[in-house]
Amino acid sequence: MNADSTLAIGILIASLVVIFSYLLDIFSHRIRIPSVLLLMGFGMGINILLVASGVGVPNFSKMLPFLGTIGLILIVLEASMHLYLTKEALGVMSKAAISAGSLLLLTTLVVMSLLHAVSGASLHSCLINAIPFAVISSAMAIPSTQNLSPEKKEFVIYESTISDILGILFFTLASSNLGGVDDWVLGISKSILITIFFSFVFTVGLVWLVTKLRNHVKFFLILFLLLLVYSLAKLFHLPALLLVFLFGLALNNTFLLNRWEWLRKQIDLVKVQEDLKYMQVSATESTFLVRTFFFVIFGYSLQWSLILKWQVIILSFAIVAVIFGLRFVFFKLFAKKHLFPEFLIAPRGLITVLLFYSIPPEMEILAVNLGSVFLVVVVTAMVMAAGTWKTPKEPETPVVATKD
């Protein structure tokens, strides 16, 4: 097959993937099946067709970390640009933060013990391998909130986003071979405080830039500035995703900047609100495109030989039982108001795959492979779908931002 034919087939497949994903986005709201499951299935189908036709199966798995990082940034940015910092929202945020942090730690410890019992590997290696399974995927949780009440929707968005941020920070610190618990706590506290400070400076500077730009192409300039700062923060082992979250949150709550007179003179807040609508639409469409290719390539890259093993299946379902068992007990004791369906909305997905690919080679254990990750992602997504199936659609009520 010549180069022109290969290029044509590549464009054909990419076009079909985007069209298929767009149709899924329309109909998944009615059938209430997470579109990412069908996208992974579509990717697996492409792999089977290419093998059967003898065309050859190119390896795209090396693209997953890059696509996943871009997708994660876009998803967190998009979600944070729709949240308002009212008194009620701050109450929901605090509950979500406690839930995300507590369950991240508890799930990690229990899954670590399970992996240690199964594999006999060191506790440190088991810890590194357990963390990806303890993090909620905002990429899958946030789109599932469409039928929930505003308060429940905010809870899921905050919980999944904070779980992503803390999970990445926890994984980074666990992989860096710090000393004892005191060093971990000090490292986390220092990283968060430094990131909050630079987030404020970066946000004010970027909001000022938005008001000064006359070019209509603003979103991708801001996105790549975000990527630049995100990369620099990662190099210094800071919770870079927290910076993205705080920027989007500040952009949607510029009324809070009215408290500083010197900022009001420098920044046209009315223009920021006008540009925000354009940025929200651009972020939504970009997220849709990146997420589509990530999950299709993830499904395409899977090997059945990694999945169809009893050890993998039993371990995967044991991890799922730990995830939802701990969530049910925690919500029953401390968050009864958010018991249903929130305790069922704890999918593993993009962030789990990203962290799995980030495990240092010397820390990998045979008990955990891509097959385990795939099964946990699929089963937790199905449980989430079952929970949202039984949730009646809430009437939409407009959210009014106040200066309280």
pLDDT at 144: 79
**What pTM did the predictor assign?**
0.82
Mean pLDDT taken over the chain: 81
In single-letter form, the type of residue at position 325 comes to G
Burial grade of 340 (CB within 10 A; 0-12, 13-18, 19 or more): middle
Average pLDDT over residues 36-42: 85
DSSP annotation string for 306-336: HHS-HHHHHHHHHHHHHHHHHHHHHHHHH-G
Per-residue pLDDT at 182 exceeds 90? no
Q: Are 351 and 168 in contact (CB under 8 A)?
A: yes
pLDDT for residue 34: 77
Following DSSP, what letter does each residue of 233-248 receive, concatenated? Answer: HHHTT--HHHHHHHHH
The whole-number average pLDDT for the span 266-287 is 78
Q: Please check whether residue 226 is in contact with residue 245, taking contact to mean a CB–CB distance below 8 angstroms.
A: no
Domain locations in the chain as residue ranges? 64-291+303-389
Q: What percent of the chain has pLDDT over 90?
A: 20
User: Going by CATH, does the domain composed of 64-291+303-389 fall within 3.40.50.1820?
Assistant: no
Quick check: 10 pLDDT over 80? no
Residue 182 to residues 169, 185, 312, Cα–Cα distance (Å): 16, 5, 35
Sign of CA dihedral 32, 36, 37, 43: positive
State the Cα–Cα distance between residues 265 and 258, nearest whole angstrom.
10
**More confident: 78 or 183:** 78
Q: Is the pLDDT of residue 361 over 80?
A: yes
Q: pLDDT digit string (tens) for 85-134?
A: 777 778 888 999 999 999 999 999 999 999 999 998 999 899 999 999 99
User: For residue 259, what are its two tokens?
Assistant: 């408290």
**Contacts of 94 by beta carbon, 8 Å cutoff, 6+ apart:** none
- Taking the CA atoms of residue 321, residue 327, residue 330 and residue 336 in that order, the dihedral angle to the nearest 10 degrees is -130
Write the pLDDT tens digit of every residue in 125-180: 999 999 999 999 887 888 777 778 888 888 998 899 889 888 887 887 787 655 55
Whether the predicted pLDDT of 183 surpasses 80 = no
Please determine, for residue 262, whether its predicted confidence score (pLDDT) is greater than 80: no
Residue 397: the pLDDT is 47
Residue 240 makes CB contacts below 8 A (sequence gap 6+) with 168, 195, 229, 230, 231, 233, 234
pLDDT for 199: 78
Q: What sections of 120-218 are H helices per DSSP?
A: 123-134, 138-141, 150-175, 181-212
Residue-level pLDDT at 391: 58
**What's the pLDDT score for residue 398?**
43
Which pLDDT does position 31 carry in this prediction?
Answer: 66
Q: Answer yes or no: is pLDDT of 193 > 60.
A: yes
Most confident among 68-72, 185-189, 244-248, 318-322 (mean pLDDT): 318-322
Query: CB atoms < 10 A from the CB of 77, how many?
Result: 24
Residue 180 CA: distances (Å) to CA of 19, 105, 177, 208: 51, 16, 9, 42
Cα distance from N-terminal residue to C-terminal residue, the chain: 65
Residues 248, 76: contact at Cβ < 8 Å? yes
Residue 386 has pLDDT above 90, yes or no: no
The confidence band for 330, taking pLDDT boundaries of 50, 70 and 90, is very high
Which helix (H) or strand (E) element contains residue 388?
helix 370-389
104 contacts: CB under 8 Å, gap ≥ 6: 134, 135, 163, 166, 167, 170
